[in-house]
Amino acid sequence: MTLKDLNIEEQVTLLMQGAEYGDVTLKQAMTDELRQRLIEAKDEGRPLRVYCGFDPRTSDLHLGHTVVMRKLRQFQDLGHEVTFLVGNYTSLVGDPSDKDKLRPQLSPEEVELNARTYAEQAYKVMEREKTHIRYNAEWLSRLSFAELIKLASNFTVQQFIARENFRLRWDHGDPIHVHEFFYAIMQGYDAYALRCDVQVGGTDQLFNIVTAARKLMTFLGAKPNIAIIMDILPGTDGEVKMSKSLGNHIALMSTPEDMYGKVMSVPDKAMGLFFRLVTRWTPPEIAKLEQDLAEGRIHPRDAKMKLAREIVSIYHSESAAAHAEGEFVRIFQQHDLPDEFPVYLLQNGQTVLEVLLAGGLVSSKSEGRRLLEQHGVRLDGQTISDGNRTFPHPGVLQVGKRKYLRVR
């Protein structure tokens, strides 16, 4: 049985899997609209038109970036038409939705370079041949000032100031620039220009999609699209949003062994979100796994290993996932060390913190200090907590459970 064999109700359940609106009534309204639009599309013999906008402000993606891509892939597997919209024009403004400070503006060259790398990584989740790539400069660059005034007349300053990120800056006396208000208007116009049935986004896009896009589409005489707002994937700490700056991310370009190990470090309480947001599993499969967990038929460790295999298989291969699992069992369950790991030549007078940074075990001194404070650094099995001391002696330096460096 393929996803295309699902009936309408089963499709709705799958497509709303992992969606979060922070409001039960709004979620029900979007669910009902999605069901009706699926029925209408089936009667008309056409696929739904679905899109998600991506502002390529970075080319270094992690698992959290793939949540909306996984939802787009589900639409593709159900036979619908998906557009990957590159925000090469909105990136010139910078999305303020999840930021409490002004975002730097990117140059067109930076955006183009990031977009190419971004798309290539996205194809690890989405089907290349079934994905339409569009750039919003195609229509946004053509808007006149008069048209922008007309679009802006649909919103009040109070609506923007009420948003948490703007409110915090307002209360702290930090500057809020007028051009930052344009972002939601530009994104709303994207929805109108594409005339899509469904727009997918994260919870930080709730205002941009539910308020701005639907309002502008209605104002401009188009049928408002349905907002599928995806929940936030927590990082490896299981607490806060996955973020490279917090060091709790799982990079898409990491090795199978590193990816597998980091998934295994995710707290049990966060597994349900990972099941729903970043796997290929259907609602019945997830319900069965969670029931088995609840009734003790499967150990949480084994469920997490199943999750780690699934994720590594998506971004690498089944064989790579099997090998990574074998390495994990050998190293962490049998208390063995890897056969090979990087070698670093110690320089005279280097401190522990300097070796951690130079050896590539941490990305910044602040991350190194945090790991040292958390007793996450060992030399030949002995914990080191003082990063400013001279490196004691050559040996095997370990950070966390997965990173090793032979210091000579």
Domain ranges across the chain: 3-230, 256-333, 343-407
What CATH code is assigned to 343-407?
A: 3.10.290.10
Residue 217 structure tokens: 């589409």
Specify the pLDDT at position 268.
Answer: 92
Provide the edge-to-edge strand list for the sheet that holds 377-379.
Answer: 343-344, 403-407, 395-399, 377-379, 382-383
Specify the pLDDT at position 1.
Answer: 56
Specify the pLDDT at position 69.
Answer: 95
Selected from 3.40.50.11890, 3.40.50.620, 3.20.20.70, 3.30.70.20, the CATH number assigned to the domain covering 3-230 reads 3.40.50.620
Specify the pLDDT at position 161.
Answer: 83
To the question of pTM greater than 0.75 for the whole model, the response is: yes
Reduced to 3 states, what is the DSSP secondary structure of residue 248? coil
**β-strand pairing of 403-407 with 343-344:** parallel
Beta strands in 101-225 (DSSP E): 131-135, 198-202
Reduced to 3 states, what is the DSSP secondary structure of residue 97? coil
Give the tens place of pLDDT for each residue, 121-140: 889 999 999 999 999 999 99
Specify the pLDDT at position 62.
Answer: 92
Residue 34 structure tokens: 């999605």
* Residues of the chain under the 50 pLDDT cut: 98-102
Specify the pLDDT at position 275.
Answer: 97
Specify the pLDDT at position 336.
Answer: 60
Residue 283 structure tokens: 């609602």
Specify the pLDDT at position 102.
Answer: 47
The answer as to CATH 1.10.240.10 being correct for domain 256-333 is yes
Specify the pLDDT at position 100.
Answer: 45
Reduced to 3 states, what is the DSSP secondary structure of residue 91? helix
Note whether 226 and 37 are within 8 A (CB): yes
* CA dihedral angle for residue 8, residue 14, residue 18, residue 21, rounded to 10 degrees: -10
**DSSP states of 285-335:** HHHHHHHHHHTTSS-HHHHHHHHHHHHHHHHS-HHHHHHHHHHHIIIIIS-
